[in-house]
Structure 1
Amino acid sequence: MTVSDPLLKELKACTAKLMQASASGNEITDDDINLLPFCQNVEQIFQKGLVQGHSVLGLAPTAQSWYWLEQAARIPSSAGPSYQLAVSAVRSCPKVGTPLGRLRLLVRTCLAKKCLHAPVEALVRGGSPRGVYDPAGSVLGDEILGEILLSVLLQCGRLAFRLDLANCSFLDASWLPPPVARLEFVPCRSLGVCITFVGGKAIVAAVETNSLAAEDDRIEAGDVLDELNGRHVTTSMRGQLASIMRSGSGKPVTVTVIKACYPGTLSLYPPLVGLLWQARLDPDRVRSGHCRAATEHQDNTCLPAVSAGRAVAYVGSDSTGARGDVREIERAVGAVLAAEAPRRADARLVVVECHEMGVRVLGADDGRVLLKHSYMEISSCGRTSTWPHHFAYIAGEQSCNIAESFTCFVFECRDEEHVDNILHSIGQGFQRTHFAV
């Protein structure tokens, strides 16, 4: 008969260290070096030996322990109120989206509420729910090992855990807690942060120079905007960040940021590295701070210019007042062509460059920068059937979500494919960086 298991031995060792650390009455926090291996062992024990065909409440067969742990909370005789509250909190948390992430958050929540033993006791002593584990290949399916695990978790119930349960946005990917900063800014209309959404996370692509966010490097390129005014920021909130800012008008702005690097070091938070590459941010630049400096100086060398070396004619510009939507383009193009008709032959040749963070218009003869707008400032772009060889984009005098006046810039080019490439590149820029806070 099996009387031992390597995972159970490791868990007992971790528990002994946690008890030793709390012997003087100290609370166990996320900084305790023994907490991470303890949690990892609990996860492995809960996941080991699950019956693949086990069905939970009529759902499809699953091998994720979260489902039976959630089911246990619905059986009044099996779980106390603390455990039921823990499961409810995890179920309603928007920051975890996978069964594994919910399992991890539940373990942390139960430690804080001193009820991690509750579902194990229901399973080991009450046999509910049934048929979850293989008796021959698991701890929880074995009568003796299950009792030993229960005794260990009952010991943990006597320890005081003070854990940051709100810092859980990366639990789907890792047990390793990220460095987090909770900031408060004075009432304002804009923080000066440019966001790109990657993998469900709001990555800070750039920080405007001299903005509130840039003060003392409180928010830096590569950080993750986790909460804005108490709301968790996800991809589903594209385009809503400005309205969230406005809804708190006159009140301090609260922001929770997951930092790219650990404080006082140049070590990146490991699960964030892949997201940085997807966001087209060089992790080495983020680590050293060069990415922020490059943004401040408009060094847009991350991607080659889409239209480098291919000239178009810059016809002119027209004010669209407080309106920046695409419907203004046809009227503005007509107004520019009517006003500039006598000088059409003298239209200046320029090169339109679409970079990672914005658009630059350079003189084709001397390379001088004639126009420069970030995607945060550009509100729309396009062309019309009335003047098929002309295209334009509209930009505000500042970030378009707070701009009060807009201008339409008009160009002429008979190469339709080239025009399509430019407009498509500006459109991609909207998707990457057109979300300002």
Structure 2
Amino acid sequence: CVLNLQSDVEMVSDTNPHLASCCELIELILRKGLRPALSLVHRDYWQCFEQLPHQDHCGLTALSLAVEQTKVCRKLLSAQGRGRYLLRLALSRKALAQFVTHLLHTPRVLEWYSPVLSVLRNEEFVPFMSLLLVLSHMEFKLDMENCSFLDESWLLPVCEIYEVVPCRELGMVLYISGRVLVLNLIPGSQAHVDKFVCPGDVIDEINGTSLRNSKCGQAGATLSRLRGCPLSICVLRWRAHDGTVYRPLIKLLRVLRMENPTLQLGPAPTQQLATTEQGPSPSHCLKEGSVYIVQFLGKANIGMFGNKEVLQHAIPHVLQKNLPSKEVLLDMKETHLTCTDRPSQVELFEHHYPEISCVGRYDQQDYTIFAFCVDSPETPQPTGFCCVVLRASTIKECEDNQPHHWLQAYRVVCM
């Protein structure tokens, strides 16, 4: 299993097909021969690491820091989940061999293992330790925030972050059963138009607040408290990395279908830039995937309000002017975007992300049209907003230019 990890790539990520089986084998070895407590209560390897001394002559150890980080993670509810989170932390920090060595040198904890059945108390454990040392020299890049299903499975769901500008209502109908699942989307709402979430997906956290083990009303109360604020929503997809249903969600999806017999599990939303493993798509994704060839349709002052709801009225106002369109290069840089006339290479405008109040797609006639509102430079005082309207050549391109990418940079700048 270690050889498989080594042979694939230089850095092991969550998408590595051998990672889950490797972690499962380590878990089996750490559990083998582990005796129950005196009260016959089941004991897991997490309790072993938790009971190890957490200080030495230099102060807090690496193990103590990892244990404390595991304890404060609100997404973990069981000893199994905490143990798995700790193992992933140890792999990421190249410290798994160190943690197990610490256990081997703590007799009062080592006695919890059977000297006959366990690997750790048998002289033949030496090959196991040598393999842990090999793992400690490998690079692991694991998403520690994607841990809500470690209580049930080593298999992790597809996890995506969606950034949304302030709005009155997102338009998601939620079902609460320990987890917050999307039951339906209200037609015409922001969630329905932007398609950043599908029925069956799990809302894992909002602005860093975990919704794991949520009670009825907790998710709604969290959204109400954050109304009018930029939102960062962590979504766990019902569809797994291989395109099939994510197995730990099957029971919940059955319950969801009982609540909504018309539930349709549609295709997964596309929020990624148009890149593949082979590189950017040459049709519309140029210059490292940040420059798009689009049509500039015009702009117009829209008054004192620049929220997303205004777009559906502002876009027709611009289109009614029947201005000649221009082929432009829309370059979404790290901190700002620029729009350049393609034939003449003259820059038409430049806006930093904090200046943009909202961005969205036209949902009435032409789904390839998208627009954004920005503090109007044409007003004497910075109190008005200007709507800038553009058209992509395909709906897919329009989706690629949706708020997720712009507001990810917006969030970095503002924080």
TM bracket, shorter-chain basis: 0.5 to 0.7
Give the unaligned 5+ runs of structure 2: 268-415
1:191 aligns with 2:170: yes
CA gap of 1:35–1:70, structure 2 versus 1, over 3 A, is same
Determine whether 1:42 maps to 2:26: yes
Determine helix, strand or coil for the equivalent of 2:20.
Answer: helix
CA distance in structure 2 between the partners assigned to 1:169 and 1:248 by the alignment: 22
Partner letter of residue 81 of structure 2? Answer: G
Cα distance in 2 between the residues matched to 1:250 and 1:180: 25
Name the counterpart of 1:51: 35
Q: Which amino acid aligns with 2:85?
A: L
**Within 2, Cα distance between the matches of 1:17 and 1:78?**
37
Write the deviation string for residues 34-86 of structure 1: whole angstroms up to 9, x where unpaired: 2111101011111111012368xxxx744211101111253537997322211
Match of 1:176 in 2: 155
One-letter identity of the residue aligned with 1:34: H
- Of 143, 151, 164, the residue aligned with 2:143 is 164
> Partners in 1 of 2:219 and 2:43 — Cα distance?
38
- Name the residue aligned to 2:50: 70
The 1:263/1:162 distance shift into structure 2, 3 A limit, reads closer
Q: 1:97 to 1:156 in 2, by over 3 A?
A: same
Q: 1:136 is matched by which residue type in structure 2?
A: V
Q: Distance in 2 between matches of 1:197 and 1:126?
A: 43
Distance 1:77 1:157 in 2: 24
Contact 1:98/1:172 (8 A) holds in 2: yes
Deviations 1:83-102 (A, max 9, x none): 22111111111111111111
Paired position in structure 2 for 1:16: 3
Tell me if 1:101 matches 2:81: yes
CA distance in 2, matches of 1:286, 1:15: 41
Q: CA 1:91 to 1:179, structure 2 compared with 1: closer, same or farther past 3 Å?
A: same
1:112: how far off?
0.7
CA drift of 1:19 comes to 2.6
| Contact preservation (8 Å) 1:104, 1:171 | yes
Give the distance between the partners of 1:79 and 1:120, measured in 2 at CA: 19
State the structure with more CA Rg.
Answer: 1
Question: 1:79 and 1:21, CA in 2 relative to 1: closer, same or farther beyond 3 A?
Answer: farther
Partner of 2:11: 27
Look up the match of 1:139: 119
**Deviation at residue 253 of structure 1 after TM alignment:** 1.0
| Counterpart in the other structure of 2:347 | none
Change (3 A) 1:264 1:176: closer
Over 3 Å counting, the alpha-carbon distance change for 1:125 and 1:105 in structure 2 is same
> Match for residue 395 of structure 1?
none
- Work out whether 1:81 is the aligned partner of 2:61: yes
RMSD after superposition: 2.7
Per the TM alignment, residue 193 of structure 1 is displaced from its structure 2 partner at its CA by 0.7
How far, CA to CA, are the matches of 2:108 and 2:59 in structure 1? 10
Relative to 1, partners in 2 of residues 1:40 and 1:281: Cα closer, same or farther, differing over 3 Å? farther
User: Which runs of 5 or more residues in structure 1 are unaligned?
Assistant: 1-13, 290-437
2-structure distance, mates of 1:135, 1:222: 47
Change in CA separation of 1:120 and 1:278 when aligned onto 2, cut-off 3 Å: same
Residues 23-422 of structure 1: pairs in structure 2 closer than 5 A = 26-53=10-37, 61-72=41-52, 74=54, 76=56, 81-127=61-107, 129-142=109-122, 144-198=123-177, 200-262=178-240, 265=243, 267-279=244-256, 280=258, 285-288=263-266
Residues 157 and 241 in structure 2, CA contact (< 8 A), matched pair in contact too: no
1:167 counterpart SS class: coil
What letter corresponds to residue 259 of structure 1 in structure 2?
A: R
Contact 1:189 1:245 in 2 (8 A): no
Q: Deviations over 1:160-189 (max 9, x none)?
A: 110011111111111001111210111113
Offset of residue 241 of structure 1: 3.0
Shift in CA distance, 105/193, structure 1 to aligned 2, threshold 3 Å: same
Is the CA contact (8 Å cut-off) linking 2:198 and 2:266 kept in structure 1?
no
Could you tell me whether the CA contact under 8 Å between 1:122 and 1:128 is conserved in 2?
A: no
**TM-score (norm. length: structure 1):** 0.56
Contact 2:180–2:219 (CA under 8 A) maintained in structure 1: no
Is contact 2:70–2:85 with CA below 8 Å preserved after alignment? Answer: yes
Q: Is the 8 A contact 2:199 2:265 kept in 1?
A: no
Q: 1:195 to 1:49 in 2, by over 3 A?
A: same
Q: Deviations over 1:259-297 (max 9, x none)?
A: 1113683x11011010112232679954446xxxxxxxx
Q: Which residue of structure 1 aligns with residue 336 of structure 2?
A: none
User: Cα 1:88–1:105, aligned 2, differ >3 Å: closer, same or farther?
Assistant: same
Shift of 1:140: 1.2
Q: TM-score, normalized by length of structure 2?
A: 0.59
